[in-house]
Amino acid sequence: MALDPSGLNFNSLKEINNYVDKVKINKLNLNTQLQIKQYCKSACDLFQKAEGLWKAKDDENAYILYMRCFNIYQAISKSYEFSKNKTVFKPLMKDINPNECVVKAEKLNQILKARYEKKKKDLERLRNIQNGKKKTGQSCLSFS
């Protein structure tokens, strides 16, 4: 596998969103207090990791974790068990700021959009250069 000088693992936001959606939030099993507590802990862990990746400027992974955290937070908040026992679960999710997840994911969305567009243009430019050299009979590699 060739190293990508852009530092990006994906080629588009559609591709990265498909990856985020691999976790089927609507299929999470949120029927018992224990299950919800486990997902609360997971969402908190995702948020903390996303914050670290945000600070480290790891845009793709931060975006993925913010989106997953927000999706899990939403699923928990909509569950019947959560609505029955809000006083139990809200403190477990106190470290998660869903609004911050959305705001940062939107910022990362714009950053990644620009980076994917630049990557696409750079690849097109490289192909054009390689095709131009092939047409003129020049080698892409020079041994002079």
Per residue in 2-33, pLDDT (tens digit) is 445 567 888 888 999 888 887 666 567 788 88
Residue 19: which residues within 8 A CB-CB, separation 6 or more? 10, 64
The DSSP H or E segment spanning 21 is none
Q: Which domains does the chain have, with CATH numbers?
A: 13-138 (1.20.58.80)
Instruction: Give 79's DSSP letter.
Output: S
Per-residue tens of pLDDT for the chain, all 144 residues: 344 556 788 888 899 988 888 766 656 778 888 889 999 999 999 999 999 999 999 999 999 999 999 999 999 999 999 999 999 999 999 999 999 999 999 999 999 999 999 999 998 998 888 887 766 665 555 554
Q: What is the model's pTM?
A: 0.80
Residue type, 61: N
Q: Give dist(CA 140, CA 129) in Å, integer.
A: 9
